[in-house]
Structure 1
Amino acid sequence: MADAAGAAEAATVVETTGLTKRYRGGQLAVDGLDLAVPRGSVFGFLGPNGSGKTTTIRMLLGLIEPTRGTARLLGEPMPSAARRVLPRVGALIEGPALYGFLSGRDNLLRYDAADPDADPRTRSARVGEALERVGLAAAAGKKARAYSLGMKQRLGLAAALLQPRELLVLDEPTNGLDPQGMREIRALVRELAADGITVFLSSHLLDEIEQVCTHTAVMHRGRLVTQGTVAEMSAGVRGRLAVGTPDTAEAARLLKEHGVTDVTVEENRVTGELPAPVPAPGHGNAGADGAAAGAGAGAPDGDPLDLADLNAALVRAGVRVRAFGQENASLEDAFVALTGEGFDVAG
């Protein structure tokens, strides 16, 4: 049993049980969080602003104490084991704090000198390697106040990587960045993951999670809604059917006749929700509406709508089909399905 427990700890770098934080005045920021972050993953901690993400990160790193519940980082209890654990963890929380009058290199030298575990004999070499790793070697001598926001974020990452790390915790690392800066940070996260570092990335940007993460958890109003791989998150949500055609009115009419719902027309594109499979006899009562939908689709009871038959029906009706297919569900679709609410993808 002890070996099994040790193996579980080795496979999980972040684990919480019932983690809860209630602030003075009664505000419940995090409510009974049970989280498990696999080693080697790029874990997206997803939720709208104000959903409890930053509060959770602060508890994980021992910056604030939970009201109740437990947290373990790299197999050690937090915050009691902070002195042993934190040297193995790099973090960038809500942007880096920099001395604007110092160069990028001098900022990192100051950060490293403040680390009691840092070896001063290798300081210069490690600072140079960190700057190289985040693509700032050429700008190392420039004053930090002249850095763009993206460069400052990369310098903050360099500070988190001055020592070898097993876990990197990033809280909204692309906040305020332009598209180019976002691409730079995402590329760096992928490189770090390829080097074997587990990355815990908090974000309110759904496309960011989809582009870089292997696993994700969704927070909503302080509670964990679900967690798993990114593929699992969207697998349970039916995608939308999309038809590209100049004959949008006729296409929309036919789709509705074949049981497609929530039909939307945008320029030369018609989309809609595919009907759920109708239960076969003896496996539930589809009702009159379900039977009619199944009959309209021309599919046997219990079978999903045959997309090839639907495409053929559009062509027979004279609809000029330029594109036809089922779009995969996105994380936004999954979030709406899980919470019944929209998601502020823009911030």
Structure 2
Amino acid sequence: MGESVRGSVRQPEPEPEPVPVPEPVPEPADDEAVIRTRALTKRYRGGQLAVDGLDLTVPAGSVFGFLGPNGSGKTTTIRMLMGLIEPTAGSARVLGQPMPRAARAVLPHVGTLIEGPALYGFLSGRDNLLRYDAADPTADPRTRRERVSAALRRVGLTAAAGKKAKAYSLGMKQRLGLAAALLQPRRLLVLDEPTNGLDPQGMREIRSLIRELAAEGTTVFLSSHLLDEIEQVCTHAAVMAQGRLLVQGTVADLAAGTRGRLVVTTPDPADAARVLKEQGADDVVLGEDRVSAEAPPPDRDLADLNTALVTAGVRVRGFAVERASLEDAFVALTGEGFDVAG
């Protein structure tokens, strides 16, 4: 009887499971906004009207600032846009699709940082991002670590990636939340107070990152209570108050729609203030060696004001109109001060 030879047949390795691909969302037409709402309304139980007939248009490729005092309805609006709550009336379209009905198709193309990141304190920054990424059914596990490293590098957290999140400062947590929003390429970023807790250098870095993302074609929609930040980084803005949209447009146009300040530098501020009031100037403010007033309307010749000052014996050492800022426009529209984070 011949000796039998037993061999083994190598089993083929199983094919890796296919990674679900995000449902394609058509690119909006050139004239279609990335975010558009029509008569969007939210009334809570008890009759509280949080958002009242909002018509908002966010152009593709813009960095759009969303401003409003506490209780103005900004956060409620963002929640409706992201499909987290249903509107009472009206409609919202994101990336050209109706929300919340198309949330499953739209949200994989949207990165968000809303009301601060939710983190596992006992995990490192890197492990938090790995968890975030693993929860995304469209994320390819084969490239997970590379994408996490790239996101950490982009927000300046590489050196702190191994540190437990509970030991992170507020600013570092904000950076980590932003990194989570950047794990996948995004067509839209929705950021709520993205520079909260950051030092001035960190704020500059995040502003630079936002500009960079916009240059790459990502539309950025951000709310912030820092009006100077909005003016520095945003191309467009909208202002809300008491649930209503007051104004929207380019940042330059919003500021231009508000009168600037006429500033007269002089060793005779009291006399200068008197003359300006006699000439019909409004909101005259007296300083130690200067006086300012609301700039006159465009049809008023500034040379006439200067002549009136000199004729009255005021020694004019400087005479200029300072351009209105977005802060000026905001205060003129809402009558509110700086606390606009609601």
Q: TM-score, normalised by structure 1?
A: 0.85
Which range moved further: 155-164 or 138-147? 138-147
> Quick check: 2:227–2:326 contact (8 Å CA) kept in 1?
yes
The residue identity in structure 2 corresponding to 1:253 is R
| CA RMSD of superposed structures (Å) | 2.0
The residue identity in structure 1 corresponding to 2:325 is S
The residue identity in structure 1 corresponding to 2:337 is F
Deviation at 1:52, TM superposition (A): 0.4
| 2:114 counterpart of 1:68 | no
Which range moved further: 325-334 or 254-263? 254-263
> Quick check: 1:49–1:204 contact (8 Å CA) kept in 2?
no
CA separation in 1, counterparts of 2:29 and 2:201?
A: 40
Deviation at 1:253, TM superposition (A): 2.1
| 2:174 counterpart of 1:135 | no
Which range moved further: 124-133 or 134-143? 134-143
Deviation at 1:81, TM superposition (A): 0.8
1:45 maps to 66
2:29 maps to 7
Deviation at 1:247, TM superposition (A): 1.8
| 2:334 counterpart of 1:343 | no
Which range moved further: 203-212 or 23-32? 203-212
Q: Which runs of 5+ in 2 are unaligned?
A: 1-26
C-alpha spacing 1:202/1:6, structure 2 compared with 1 (3 Å):
closer
Counterparts of residues 151-300 of structure 1 (less than 5 Å):
151-276=172-297
Deviations 1:86-135 (A, max 9, x none): 00000000000111121111110110011111000000000011011111
> Quick check: 1:259–1:274 contact (8 Å CA) kept in 2?
no
CA separation in 1, counterparts of 2:86 and 2:97?
A: 15
Task: Please point out which of 314, 318, 332 is paired with 1:319.
Answer: 314
Q: Which runs of 5+ in 1 are unaligned?
A: 278-303
Deviations 1:205-226 (A, max 9, x none): 3222112110011111001111
Deviations 1:281-317 (A, max 9, x none): xxxxxxxxxxxxxxxxxxxxxxx33324433554455
CA separation in 1, counterparts of 2:86 and 2:169?
A: 34
The residue identity in structure 2 corresponding to 1:164 is P
Deviation at 1:263, TM superposition (A): 1.1
2:300 is paired with a residue of what secondary structure? coil
C-alpha spacing 1:164/1:215, structure 2 compared with 1 (3 Å):
same
The residue identity in structure 1 corresponding to 2:319 is F
The residue identity in structure 2 corresponding to 1:84 is A
CA separation in 1, counterparts of 2:316 and 2:190?
A: 47
The residue identity in structure 2 corresponding to 1:326 is V
> Quick check: 2:69–2:340 contact (8 Å CA) kept in 1?
no
Task: Please point out which of 304, 314, 323 is paired with 1:328.
Answer: 323
How many residues of Structure 1 are paired with residues of Structure 2 in the alignment? Answer: 315
Identity between Structure 1 and Structure 2 (%): 77
Deviations 1:137-175 (A, max 9, x none): 121112212222111101100000000000000112233
Task: Please point out which of 17, 29, 43 is paired with 1:22.
Answer: 43
> Quick check: 1:274–1:305 contact (8 Å CA) kept in 2?
no
1:227 is paired with a residue of what secondary structure? strand
The residue identity in structure 2 corresponding to 1:343 is G
CA separation in 1, counterparts of 2:154 and 2:193?
A: 20
2:69 is paired with a residue of what secondary structure? coil
The residue identity in structure 2 corresponding to 1:7 is A
Counterparts of residues 86-97 of structure 1 (less than 5 Å):
86-97=107-118
> Quick check: 1:243–1:325 contact (8 Å CA) kept in 2?
yes
| 2:106 counterpart of 1:85 | yes
CA separation in 2, counterparts of 1:62 and 1:133?
A: 28
2:12 maps to none
2:120 maps to 99
> Quick check: 2:70–2:339 contact (8 Å CA) kept in 1?
no
Whichever of the two has the greater Rg, that structure is 2
CA separation in 2, counterparts of 1:110 and 1:312?
A: 70
